[in-house]
Chain A
């Protein structure tokens, strides 16, 4: 390693004084695809091995992102644990570009040290190496953090594996009576826990920017109300319960306001509520339906769904009021838009023929690219790094969640427990 480094330094110095290369070769073809990577099973402690398998969690995270193509363990020619056991030729022979090795060491009851190293196989260099202290409860989260570190090192984008999702699921009991749950789980669908359950509908979860609270709609008294609930304490507050619709709450990026839909004025319009003072400001006022507001990342704009033009389309208005500006013209049904974290794109539900699919609209060109292939896809939500979108789709008459890379190449269903699952909302980054 050191020798290699010294060689590299020497060569760098040589190159600095040598003349410019006069031979230029253009490479324009190549191919696009996920990066082949091998995550060797981590060595487990002899006694007290954790139930969670770090390497498998990392492997499935990276695979789900669409950016990586992990080598099946069965195909591996060797299974190194220590750096001196790595023979890069084994991995080059398998066309693997990056290699991850590691081990889990027991450090007392329920405590573990997880060490891992990331290698560039063709350059024969270690490019990352960490030891993380964790516990049995936190092991999944630690594994996601490892995936995040690998992801960020190799793609340059922050990983969003160690984040969470909120979603609504309907689970029927033996008699067929459904119970609706608002659940929070890891971004890969594991570790779900209900934060509120009801025999009446629950809708439209929205994360506070600090990731501590969720606003949602509940019909628990036979009518809609908007609640804000602290995830970890369960404490909740009823925000609105006006006559008619109380819907579509969504937190402003700075967390001080919530945009929502109320029909107390006779038809659904967008309002903005100051979270602390509870003061309401009406943002839109139109006889048509105005709903599903979403903030731009800078908080300047709100996009929403309106059928004022005859069918639902996306409109935009400045968050402090003004004229509505129509943003979508393609097709007869565009709804439930939300901004990408960089503010350059909108994801939305768009109707294509008889199918409802997830679209990605470039705000500069206004072109809508389809990301999903289902017939009843809905509720798209950007990962906080903008690289993936989670949405609800149908699998054999059951609602499930799927994640798609924003290039549309990799679409993967999330492993979730029973129930008809819908309305996913991706959390902000871990804070």
Chain B
């Protein structure tokens, strides 16, 4: 089977990563910022799987790291959704420009 060059996979994942970074810094809405974080975590997963598959196929380390990242992402999303709902209940908005009570 002909193989895709590893650098193309890395370009794919870094483009996805910086799309996520752009969304995280430019958005004003907490839920869309959360979605950008998901994109970032997924780009890292692609990297781990690609390195495991194409450079070190005699190990399963990338698979384990991907599984742990997916689990941490699930925990992170559940906590942040709880925070967002609590914030919405208190301020009636989740726009980060309007919720400045604790802003330094």
Q: Do A and B bind each other?
A: no
